[in-house]
A and B are shown apart, each in its own frame.
Chain A
Amino acid sequence: MANHAIVGAGAYVDFYKAKRYPGVLSWILSTDHKRIGILYLASMLSFFLVGMSIGFLMRLELIAPGKQLVDPQTYNAFFTLHGVIMIFLFIVPGLSASFGNFFLPIHIGAPDVAFPRLNLLSWWLFIAGGTLAVLSMFTGSGPPDTGWTFYAPYSIRTGTNVILAAFAAFVLGFSSILTGINFLTTVHRMRAPGMGWFRMPLFVWSLYATAWMQVLATPVIGINLLLIISERLFGIGVFDPAKGGDPILYQHLFWIYSHPAVYIMILPGMGAISEIMPVFSRRTIFGYKFIAYSSITIAALGSLVWGHHMFTSGQSYVASTIFSLLTMLVAIPSAVKVFNWIATMYKGSIHIEAPLLFAMSFIFLFSVGGLTGMMIGTLSFDVHVHDTYFIVGHFHYTMFGGMGMAFFAALHYWFPKMFGRMYNKAVAKMAWLMIFVGFNTLYFPMFILGWLGMPRRYYDYLPQYQGGHVVSTIGSWILIAGILIMLSNLIRSLRTGEKADGNPWGGTTLEWTVPSPPPLENFEKIPHVDRDPYDFEGVSAR
């Protein structure tokens, strides 16, 4: 970062033009981390739209008690597929596979990831898993109806297509593990000269912490899903109490992965927020090291709290107590991040652009999610609201309000860098407003419904809960309209947007020192890094 003038601007070939194969093959056979990042981005957004459509239908069904659109079995398949698609095909790969792939190597001054071909294999496994998941909807004896959690023994008894869906999640797990291994090696081995650990952008720190969890936790769910498949095929009896098995063992194995997975989903999002806050405040990040270390702390503590999903499961009293205590502690590093982001705005010179609006709504919505998370970490309160709409509200605030908003923030922040064009900023801000309003209208009533006792995964409900459901369904329409406006604005701008130069926001990290879109292998010459990542000295506002 010695020189913040755009290197090689004008006379260079961007990575879109540097093709090894013609047509679509130049994408699906490419080992360029930027192309793979865009492949992930496009495929994840496609799956997101499928998941969103199913969510829309669910909200429509729930607008009144009784049957509106579909029968109970179809509704049960809806919430299973909505969960499987959104979790395994959108938020788990999340910002890591899309923006992480594109920007991790650039952020550390590397020409690519450590294992480019393994990287392509990860995407292929992702698509294979995604295809299997979609196939499970249309083949066999009906779409799976177990919920995305596949809890035993129901998942062993149901006649629906659980084996294929579980196998899909198993394949997707490998994709995640390979990406993790790749990123760990890249961060350790590929940093440019002068790029010490504390010169890395905070997005890289978050990806690094995430990668450890992907590598360490994902194998557990792989084993668990294979056990469910074996139960169904051979009746081995690991989870079936009639054969000496234990349904609670299933839940432990499931959450040993699936709770850390929550942090796999959110950490890269937090990393993106740490990039955006300084740039639009025009000042260095507040408490760099505290944010960096808090990512590692979240990864470590987040791996030890899975039992808080099981306070009413029949697990032991002692276990519940310990998990509740650890759950409270894991909230602290997240709080530290939030305070540091806000302090980053202090005495800044704030430019209100779409990425900042999404980032600020991330901070607000994720705080609601985190604080309600502490409430349900409180043992006695959780007993009441566990498996109610309170939980549904809570995890949509953390996952969608958190990872989702961070994803949209990152999309608007890095769009000009990735595609070389700027979107319509006024439309982007309007879409943001609709998304923010729609989101809260959709999910906030769920907290009230949950407190009043409305259980989740209910096709039908008692009339006293209808008010909240109506408001929530109306919110879904606003939210979806906002998302469609946002995406159409971006898609239209791919062709017609104003050309963006190398550094349209006045960013300080390495991606803003190369042209937009970046050339193949990113840098003409591997940079020598001699400044901190958020050093705004000599970088002017735009």
Chain B
Amino acid sequence: MDLFSSTTEAVNIAFFVTLGIAVGMLVLITVLMVVFVIKYHRKRHPKASQVKGHTLLEIVWTVVPTLLALGMFYLGWVGYKFMRAVPEGAIEVSATGRMWSWEFEYENGKRSPELYVPVDRPVKVNLKSADVLHSFYVPAYRVKQDVVPGLDTYVWFHPVDTGLYDIFCAEYCGQRHSYMMSKVVVIPAAEFQDWVEQDVESVPVVSDEATSDQEQVERLRRAGERLSKIKGCNACHSTDGSELVGPTYKGLFGRAGVVITDGEKRQIVVDEEYLRKSILEPSADIVEGYGPVMPSQQGITEEEVNAIVEYLKTL
């Protein structure tokens, strides 16, 4: 049954019909109550009649609301079926929710912190959690699905217009839950094709001979900056010196500080080796005053670590 052309429409129809029923019932209840209070106020109606009940009325106001309620159920069910059935030809994107950012990965391995999609084609987003419960929510498309560790879930929608649409995390996930946002970026199909083929490698490979050392470093730095967004580092580490969940990246390289290693305090100076270890084994050295909350970055490549370290040096 294809009653709806998109999830937005499926929900809007359910909203307006159920709202209409709700408003109608509320007006009925309120008007009756107010009319009775006025009409049967003791000044106008000093002697009450003892009406004990009316079986037919009881039947009517049981059956009519039941029918309305069943109608509401049916409408919601049809819409829900539509929302769960992914149309053929949908492009598939994997999304990972983690405290407190989203990462999207395309079929060719391209990764992005925003969800770029082509206009006018259904999109299926396969959802995974790296830690706790999250919920992938795009208000404009009226879709929401919890992201559950250990369970594969999905959501689909059909963007009909280009533009930017908010993505929220709708399931409480801790301190910076309200900052776990991203955007759906809907662009024309041709543009999308170009975009998805660019920067597929997280650290682009270039032929070495033509490039100077300086260019090499710059290439790594840029890759590192992109990676820190994709991997959600900035959800907890600011680059402008402000205090978030973790220490700021600003002036990090060469900073002296106290860390806690196996329960013992020790003095360190941030160098390449320390950065590398902190990315791969975040819980080994905890900076004093912070909690052991950073997830391990398993699966990160040597190249990617180099790029991030290079990027952090420049902040």
Which of B37, B146, B150 is the one whose CB lies under 8 Å from A312?
B146
Contact at B146–A374, with CB atoms within 8 Å?
A: no
In the complex, A292→B179 CA distance in Å? 49
Residues of A within 8 A of B179 (CB): 460
Chain B CB within 8 A of A34 CB: no
Chain B CB within 8 A of A331 CB: yes
Q: Which of the candidate stretches A149-157, A428-436, A486-494 sits at the interface with the other chain?
A: A149-157
Contact at A151–B172, with CB atoms within 8 Å?
A: yes
Chain B CB within 8 A of A231 CB: no
Which of B25, B29, B175 is the one whose CB lies under 8 Å from A363?
B29
Contact at A374–B72, with CB atoms within 8 Å?
A: yes
Known A-B contacts A321-B80, A350-B36, A380-B75; the reply to A455 vs B175 at CB < 8 A is no
Q: State the interface size on chain B (CB cutoff 8 A).
A: 81
Residue of B nearest to A294 (CB): B62
Residues of A within 8 A of B45 (CB): 347-350
Contact at B132–A153, with CB atoms within 8 Å?
A: yes
What is the 8 Å Cβ interface bit string for chain A, positions 348-387, against chain B (1 contact, 0 not)? 1111100000001001100110011011011111111011
Identify 23 residue pairs between A and B in the complex whose beta-carbon atoms are under 8 Å apart, listed by A's number: A72-B178, A159-B293, A246-B150, A282-B42, A283-B49, A331-B69, A342-B32, A343-B51, A346-B51, A350-B42, A363-B33, A367-B26, A371-B22, A374-B21, A375-B15, A375-B18, A378-B14, A380-B76, A383-B11, A383-B142, A384-B144, A457-B178, A461-B178
Which residues of A150-200 have CB atoms within 8 Å of chain B's CB atoms? 151, 153-154, 157-159
Contact at A383–B25, with CB atoms within 8 Å?
A: no
In the complex, A324→B78 CA distance in Å? 12
Which residues of B111-165 have CB atoms within 8 Å of chain A's CB atoms? 131-133, 135, 137, 139-140, 142-146, 148-151, 153
In the complex, A282→B159 CA distance in Å? 60
Known A-B contacts A154-B174, A286-B51, A345-B37; the reply to A379 vs B80 at CB < 8 A is yes
A332, A360, A461, A536 — most chain B CB neighbours (10 Å): A332
Contact at A380–B11, with CB atoms within 8 Å?
A: yes
- How far is the CB of B78 from the nearest CB of chain A, in Å? 8
- How far is the CB of A445 from the nearest CB of chain B, in Å? 16
Residue of B nearest to A153 (CB): B132
Residue of B nearest to A357 (CB): B37
Chain A CB within 8 A of B266 CB: no
Residues of A within 8 A of B80 (CB): 311, 317, 320-321, 324, 379-380, 383
Known A-B contacts A347-B51, A453-B137; the reply to A364 vs B33 at CB < 8 A is yes
Q: State the interface size on chain A (CB cutoff 8 A).
A: 89
Q: A324-B73, A345-B40, A371-B25 are in contact. List 8 more A-B contacts (CB 8 A).
A: A72-B178, A151-B133, A241-B150, A283-B49, A336-B61, A342-B36, A347-B40, A378-B14
- How far is the CB of B46 from the nearest CB of chain A, in Å? 6
In the complex, A283→B52 CA distance in Å? 9
In the complex, A378→B41 CA distance in Å? 39
Chain A CB within 8 A of B269 CB: no
How many A-B contacts if CB must be within 8 Å? 266
Residue of A nearest to B132 (CB): A154
- How far is the CB of A334 from the nearest CB of chain B, in Å? 9
Known A-B contacts A283-B49, A371-B25; the reply to A313 vs B14 at CB < 8 A is no
Contact at A247–B168, with CB atoms within 8 Å?
A: no
Which of B25, B41, B77 is the one whose CB lies under 8 Å from A321?
B77
Contact at A459–B178, with CB atoms within 8 Å?
A: yes
Residues of B within 8 A of A151 (CB): 133, 171-172
Chain A CB within 8 A of B289 CB: no
Residue of B nearest to A351 (CB): B42
Which of B14, B30, B135, B151 is the one whose CB lies under 8 Å from A381?
B14
In the complex, A283→B135 CA distance in Å? 52
Residues of B within 8 A of A363 (CB): 29, 33
Chain A CB within 8 A of B177 CB: yes
Residue of B nearest to A453 (CB): B139
Residues of A within 8 A of B83 (CB): 380, 383
In the complex, A377→B77 CA distance in Å? 10
In the complex, A310→B79 CA distance in Å? 17
Residues of A within 8 A of B168 (CB): 453, 455
- How far is the CB of B5 from the nearest CB of chain A, in Å? 14
Residue of A nearest to B179 (CB): A460
Chain A CB within 8 A of B58 CB: yes
Residue of B nearest to A241 (CB): B150
Contact at A248–B175, with CB atoms within 8 Å?
A: no
What is the 8 Å Cβ interface bit string for chain A, positions 279-290, against chain B (1 contact, 0 not)? 001111011111
